[in-house]
Amino acid sequence: MLDNQESGKKENVRVVSLAEARETGMPREILIALHETDGVGRVTIATIFLYGAMKGPGSLRHSGGYLAGDWRDMGLSARQALAAEKSVRPAAAERRESRYAAGRMDVVTYLDDEYPPLLREISDPPWVLYYRGRLELLKRPAIAIVGTRLATGYGRKVAEEIAEGCAGRMTVVSGLAKGIDAAAHRGAVSAACGTIAVLAGGVDRCYPPENFALYREIGARGLLLAESPPDTILHPGLFPLRNRIIAGLALGVVVVEAARRSGALITADLAIGYNRDVFVVPGQVTSPRSLGALEYFRKGAHPALDAGDIFQYYEYRLPELPGPKARNGAVSRARDAEEELGEDERLIYRLILERPSSVDELAASSGMTFGHLHSILLNLLMTRRIEQQPGSVYHVL
Amino acid sequence: MLDNQESGKKENVRVVSLAEARETGMPREILIALHETDGVGRVTIATIFLYGAMKGPGSLRHSGGYLAGDWRDMGLSARQALAAEKSVRPAAAERRESRYAAGRMDVVTYLDDEYPPLLREISDPPWVLYYRGRLELLKRPAIAIVGTRLATGYGRKVAEEIAEGCAGRMTVVSGLAKGIDAAAHRGAVSAACGTIAVLAGGVDRCYPPENFALYREIGARGLLLAESPPDTILHPGLFPLRNRIIAGLALGVVVVEAARRSGALITADLAIGYNRDVFVVPGQVTSPRSLGALEYFRKGAHPALDAGDIFQYYEYRLPELPGPKARNGAVSRARDAEEELGEDERLIYRLILERPSSVDELAASSGMTFGHLHSILLNLLMTRRIEQQPGSVYHVL
């Protein structure tokens, strides 16, 4: 599968429609066998389908037992044809089945009703997907949240909060990488619409190993998804291929934090290529770790302060109504906490929210007298909006 | 002038065009006298012009010596008419002239060719403006840069840099307030297109006093501008009126940092009302001091990472070509400094750019060995990209 030497050819191959592919009569088991045949990649499979579509209905239905000669007729090289003949044999199919069972995974193909509909629309859809977890998540409106592996604390916090907000009405897709990806999965995994982690390697291998706990939780409560068959050896070329699935599954891609030339931007570029939306969560223009993301504003990306800003683009495609928790954490929490405060209390609360501070610092930046400040702090402490920590520093609760 | 009781009436009064106003024949000295008459405000003057426009060409040219009766005919109350009669007398005019000379200021009226053309287009243009400095700045394409008085270090830095970039091709307008306004003026005051400070009080009175050095520099190298006559007593109602002039002078308003309900947002709202652009410099969505600004994205504000993002909206109105310095500081400086670095050097440079760091912190966040890190730091030190400061903390130069 996924022969790299084919990657340059994809422009020349038309994608067959679902109807055309089904009309050829190719059984899904044969498609899976081809996908796992060494030296047979996405483009070869596409040409087989096109051959079948040209030949007419049923032309790929068990034609002559799928011997090497048949595969040669369909345009495969001698070597590919021999490999394919071996791979489609019942014994090989049985070995695959027990491998899937051992890896607690299952398979969905381009030919199946369960295949994610938006992913079918991209120019180079995967023919086969391996998964563990809740397959039904593939039918929900999805949003991808991606970003740098070298995330700042700000980036991780915002990714987690926006993912939590989004997952109230959309499934959150990401790549289980360190940094932003992991934060997004973490925010979404317990929420109503859950999260999908698309892996570059096989579904039963956690990469990177640091995210094992998250990987296990997503396997149990969300969905692990991969184009690579089990036992695929990871190599760098698999990551951009994985990224196209992330972009392909989602209505839009949210970039939280990414330096220039960050790998996460490949996903954003693919989303633009697939005519999907790109959203950027604002960050500081002086932060090199934000600049790559912020520059997508110049390509027409939409600013997203919270999940609500994303929902409004898909309002007509989202089944549920926005609950009170649907808007994103940071913003609405700050808003709620401030709602019932007096003007001076609000000022002090905001100063502490921005940076944990001592009484002296608060007096200096607010210009209030100590007496007045003291009574405000007392009130905020008693209403459990702030707390005092060692060194008499006040934090927001 | 500026009688507050009139402010509610402005919707009912049509603005006279320049041609209509000139056709009435009212001399500019009379307009100035009316503007400085107690109890006669913007709306009253507008109704006088409309009266004149209705009566026909020349109808306000010295009609009967401008006695109280004439003013009554034009719709003024008995009290207003008496005050106007006094104010237009030659002795009063002389007193005004010497007051202007003493305050080193001059006057430009709505009737003059020097009046800023974009300001004529707003629904409630000032009839008279007082100024000190380079009047020709009023003819240049202008951009307003505004924000909170309680700015963070990030906000001030970005305001100064974006103002410096903008002022290469546009005049930067702001309100001389503390925080963002002051930073914007500071960035622009030495640049090619300079800066205009619009004051709420008179031109010869610096408010706030903290910005006196800047006020003096703008008076010498830029332009101080005010609708309030000299000796006006400052009151809160003058600031929104001042903000309309900031918005009215500029093709667009850049909001750098502003909490919800910040006064700077009045300027942004006015700009929207005047059909001007609003730009927002991204900041962190978790910062309450950024949220008010960021929320303008929801009203269609454009993200601006640097001056180049603003120039592209006005390319056809800007006379000069963008020089190498026209793009904004932070972004391009970081880009230039990074251009010739190797990959590891760049990583370390960015980490230090983001936050001054010790060797231990850099080792932890980069994952490099101390030996390798040491040689990189040496190289960055020798090429003068970073410097070591007390406590062995590295800073970007």
Q: What is the 3-state secondary structure (H, E, C) of A153-179?
A: HHHHHHHHHHHHHHCCCCEEEECCCCC
CB atoms within 10 A of CB B170: 31
Model pLDDT, residue A244: 97
Contacts of B295 in chain A (CB under 8 A): 305
A126 CB burial (10 A radius; 0-12, 13-18, 19+)? buried
Q: Is A294's CB within 8 Å of B303's CB?
A: yes
> B260 with B291: CB under 8 angstroms?
yes
Question: Can you tell me which residue has the tokens 């608060």?
Answer: A362
Model pLDDT, residue A307: 97
Q: What is the largest CA-CA distance in chain A?
A: 93
How far is C-alpha A317 from the chain's CA centre?
19
**What topology is assigned to B131-326 in CATH?**
Rossmann fold (3.40.50)
A350 Cα to chain B: minimum distance (Å):
7
B367 vs A: CB within 8 A: no
Grouping H, G, I as helix, E, B as strand and the rest as coil, residue B150 is: coil
Q: Chain A interface, mutation test: which of B279, B286, B290, B338, most A Cβ atoms within 10 Å?
A: B286
With the CA atoms of B268, B270, B273 and B279 taken in that order, what torsion angle do they form, in degrees rounded to the nearest 10? Answer: -20
> A126 with A45: CB under 8 angstroms?
no
Grouping H, G, I as helix, E, B as strand and the rest as coil, residue A131 is: strand
Residue A64 to residues A60, A69, B155, Cα–Cα distance (Å)? 9, 9, 72
Nearest to B284 among A283, A297, A334 (CB): A283
Domain boundaries, chain B: 4-102, 131-326, 340-396
Work out whether the CA dihedral B305, B308, B309, B311 comes out positive or negative.
Answer: positive
> B289 with B151: CB under 8 angstroms?
yes
Tell me the pairing of strands A223-226 and A195-199.
Answer: parallel
Closest CA to B286 of A370, A335, A202, A74: A335
CA–CA gap between residue A91 and residue A89 (Å, rounded): 5
Please tell us whether the domain made up of A340-396 is placed in CATH 1.10.10.10. yes
Question: Can you tell me which residue has the tokens 């060797």?
Answer: B359
Closest CA to B275 of B252, B249, B307, B241: B252
CA–CA gap between residue B34 and residue B86 (Å, rounded): 10
Work out whether the CA dihedral A64, A66, A67, A70 comes out positive or negative.
Answer: positive
> B129 with B230: CB under 8 angstroms?
no
Q: Is A285's CB within 8 Å of B286's CB?
A: no
Question: Can you tell me which residue has the tokens 């070869």?
Answer: A44
Model pLDDT, residue A321: 52
Q: Which two tokens stand for residue A95?
A: 């070995």
> B141 with B270: CB under 8 angstroms?
no
Q: Is B66 left (phi over 0), alpha (psi -120 to 50) or beta?
A: left
DSSP A225-259: EESSPTTPPP-TTHHHHHHHHHHHH-SEEEE----
Walk along chain A (397 residues) and give the pLDDT tens digit of each residue: 444 444 444 445 567 899 999 999 999 999 999 999 999 999 999 999 999 999 999 989 875 678 999 999 888 999 999 999 999 999 999 999 999 999 999 999 999 999 999 999 998 999 999 999 999 999 999 999 999 999 999 999 999 999 999 999 999 999 999 999 999 999 999 999 999 999 999 999 999 999 999 999 999 999 999 999 999 999 999 999 999 999 999 999 999 999 998 888 999 999 999 999 999 999 999 999 999 999 999 999 999 999 999 999 998 888 755 444 444 444 555 555 566 687 888 888 888 887 888 888 888 888 887 778 877 888 788 777 887 776 678 888 7
Question: Can you tell me which residue has the tokens 């978790």?
Answer: B286
Q: What is the 8-class DSSP label of residue B211? A: G
Would you mind telling me the total number of residues written for chain A in this entry?
397
Grouping H, G, I as helix, E, B as strand and the rest as coil, residue A283 is: coil
Counting DSSP H helices and E strands in chain A, the numbers are: 18, 12
Q: Which helix (H) or strand (E) is B28 found in, with range? A: helix B28-35
Contacts of B230 (CB under 8 A, 6+ apart): B99, B100, B103, B105, B130, B202, B203, B204, B205
A282 Cα to chain B: minimum distance (Å):
5
Q: Chain B interface, mutation test: which of A152, A280, A284, most B Cβ atoms within 10 Å?
A: A284
Nearest to B259 among A150, A331, A350 (CB): A350
Contacts of A383 (CB under 8 A, 6+ apart): none
Closest CA to B223 of B118, B140, B160, B111: B140
**What topology is assigned to A131-325 in CATH?**
Rossmann fold (3.40.50)
> B152 with B257: CB under 8 angstroms?
yes
Model pLDDT, residue B374: 79
Residues 60-99 of A with CB under 8 A from B: none
B300 Cα to chain A: minimum distance (Å):
10
B384 vs A: CB within 8 A: no
How far is C-alpha A62 from the chain's CA centre?
37
Q: Chain B interface, mutation test: which of A285, A346, A354, most B Cβ atoms within 10 Å?
A: A285
Q: What are phi and psi of A48, to 5 degrees?
A: -60, -45
Q: Which two tokens stand for residue B46?
A: 């507008």
Model pLDDT, residue A9: 42
Nearest to A281 among B285, B306, B334 (CB): B285
CA–CA gap between residue B167 and residue B173 (Å, rounded): 10
Contacts of A295 in chain B (CB under 8 A): 305
Q: At what angle do helices A370-382 and A359-366 cross, to 10 degrees?
A: 120
Model pLDDT, residue B4: 42
Model pLDDT, residue B337: 56
B295 vs A: CB within 8 A: yes
ipTM for the whole predicted complex goes beyond 0.90: no
How far is C-alpha A193 from the chain's CA centre?
13
Grouping H, G, I as helix, E, B as strand and the rest as coil, residue A195 is: strand
Walk along chain B (397 residues) and give the pLDDT tens digit of each residue: 444 444 444 445 567 899 999 999 999 999 999 999 999 999 999 999 999 999 999 989 875 678 999 999 888 999 999 999 999 999 999 999 999 999 999 999 999 999 999 999 998 999 999 999 999 999 999 999 999 999 999 999 999 999 999 999 999 999 999 999 999 999 999 999 999 999 999 999 999 999 999 999 999 999 999 999 999 999 999 999 999 999 999 999 999 999 998 888 999 999 999 999 999 999 999 999 999 999 999 999 999 999 999 999 998 888 755 444 444 444 555 555 566 687 888 888 888 887 888 888 888 888 887 778 877 888 888 777 887 777 778 888 7
